């Protein structure tokens, strides 16, 4: 059993707003605007950007410009663009578009898997492993995600043994990162700790990240808990945008600026300029014409609060 460890000196934030956030928007965001927002996030210090998803445009119309977007994104040293794929066709499209890192994701909930990927859990697990091998053959880095790991709105509690078994299968394929997703925001510090106690020893040297949704307001609490179990990689969305089109009532991810503030206030380095990041969130709020769920970007004197 892995026991709590000292807080780390540094953590990595993966910005997923351009995918997880934008996919929830009903009004189509122009490609040029997406690129402008992504450039602002990079200027703020984000090094990992989940830029889009290679999924069926009729199911997620916001991602219909995936190839065009990837082709027009500026290249910066030290910046990695990723995208989500849910099937082999998505991996092929991402590779053809020039991406060097892909994220595949399989739900630990059969009901959610059928809604999200159109497959029962058993078939989705086999497909996920095929996709990992397929990406490796194309010399792409791979993040393998397990959705609904801390609960499902349809099925309720997900047995940790199922999550651990899925993780072991993905890890055996030689993935670069393992991502544990609280897709419906049902996790709490205790359930997160209980899963990580078993998962972290299983993962060994493979980096583990968390993809946290803030549906019930516990996203940052779960993040703080995970830090004590050796997790130093977290997905976050600028302004707290996002949700899941196939999860009723799903809220966005933890806000990137709120995560940066929490980490910085604890003395954990991220390499991200909080003032610039808050400017990105405010700019995005203005563009969308509504307040965003994130909190820290609403303060006018963000740097002085640290």
Active site residues: 244
Pick from 236, 284, 276, 292: nearest CA to 19: 236
| DSSP assignments along 105-159, one per residue | EEES-HHHHHHHTSS-HHHHHHHHHHHHHHHHHTT-EEEEEEETTT-BTTTBSPP
Separation between Cα atoms, residue 239 and residue 241, nearest integer Å: 6
Gap between the Cα atoms of 302 and 279, Å rounded: 10
> Would you state the structure tokens that stand for residue 168, as one six-digit string?
């072991």
Give 193's DSSP letter: H
Could you give the 3-state DSSP secondary structure of residue 24? helix
Alpha-carbon span 297 to 306, nearest angstrom: 13
Separation CA 68–CA 93 (nearest Å):
11
């Amino acid at each position: 059993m892995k026991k709590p460890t000292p807080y780390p000196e540094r953590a990595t934030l993966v910005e997923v707003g351009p995918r997880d956030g934008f996919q929830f928007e009903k009004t189509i965001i122009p490609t040029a605007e997406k690129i402008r927002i992504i450039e602002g996030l990079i200027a703020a210090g984000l090094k990992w950007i989940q830029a889009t998803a290679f999924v069926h445009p009729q199911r997620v119309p916001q991602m219909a410009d995936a190839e065009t977007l990837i082709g027009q994104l500026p290249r910066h040293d030290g910046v990695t663009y990723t995208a989500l794929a849910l099937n082999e066709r998505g991996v092929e499209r991402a590779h053809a578009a020039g991406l060097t890192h892909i994220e595949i994701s399989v739900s630990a909930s059969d009901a959610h898997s059928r809604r999200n990927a159109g497959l029962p859990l058993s078939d989705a697990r086999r497909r996920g492993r095929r996709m990992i091998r397929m990406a490796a053959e194309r010399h792409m880095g791979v993040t393998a995600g397990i959705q609904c790991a801390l609960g499902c709105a349809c099925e309720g509690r997900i047995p940790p043994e199922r999550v651990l078994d899925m993780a072991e299968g993905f890890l055996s394929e030689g993935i670069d990162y393992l991502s544990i997703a609280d897709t419906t925001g049902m996790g709490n510090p205790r359930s997160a700790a209980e899963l990580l106690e078993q998962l972290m020893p299983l993962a060994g040297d493979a980096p583990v990240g968390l993809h946290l949704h803030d549906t019930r307001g516990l996203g940052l609490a779960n993040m703080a808990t995970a830090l004590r179990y050796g997790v130093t990689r977290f997905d976050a969305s600028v302004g707290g945008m996002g949700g899941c089109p196939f999860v009723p009532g799903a809220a966005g991810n933890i806000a990137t600026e709120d995560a940066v503030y929490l980490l910085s206030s604890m003395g954990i380095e991220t390499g991200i300029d909080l003032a610039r990041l808050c400017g990105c969130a405010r700019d995005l709020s203005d563009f969308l014409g509504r307040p965003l769920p994130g909190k820290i970007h609403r303060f006018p004197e963000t740097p002085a609060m640290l």
